[in-house]
Structure 1
C-alpha cells in the first residue's frame, strides 16, 4: 500500500488548513513535513497523508492529570 500524496488544496479539504496557512508554516519551518516535487520558489508541494496524521497526533494535548 502506498501513502497518499495530497496537494495543499486537498489538505485544506480534508483537514481544514488553508493553502496559505500551509505556505506560512513552510516559510516559518513549522507544521507538517512536505515534499517539493519540482525545484525553485514555485515548486509543487505535496504532503503524505501519514505525515499529516502523525503531525496532528504530535500536536494533540491531553487534558487532566497532574499538569492540568
Structure 2
C-alpha cells in the first residue's frame, strides 16, 4: 500500500502553506488527495506518488 502524507508534509514538500493546500482543493487544483471519512472534518491525505508526480510536472526543463 502506498504511503499517505499529511497536509503539513505536503505543504513542506511544495513550499506552500497548509491554507494554500486548502485553497487549491476548493479550486480543484493541486495534487489529487483523499478524504479519510465522509464528513466535513474528515482527514485529508495525499498519496506520496501523486505528490511526486505533481512536483515532477512542475519542474522546468532547460
For the criterion TM > 0.5, the same-fold answer is: yes
Residue matched to 2:38: 39
1:28-67 matched pairs, under 5 angstroms = 28-63=27-62
Whichever structure has more helix as a proportion of its residues is: 2
Cα deviation, 1:18-38, whole Å, max 9, x if unaligned, reads 211110110000000000111
Unaligned runs of 5+ in 1: 64-68
- Matched pairs, number: 61
Q: Which moved more, 1:19-28 or 1:38-47?
A: 38-47
Q: Where in structure 1 do 4 or more consecutive aligned residues deviate above 6 Å?
A: none
Unaligned runs of 5+ in 2: none
| Bigger relative CO (Cα 8 Å, ≥ 6 apart) | 2
Using the size of structure 2 for normalisation, the TM-score is 0.84
Whichever structure has more strand as a proportion of its residues is: 2
Using the size of structure 1 for normalisation, the TM-score is 0.77
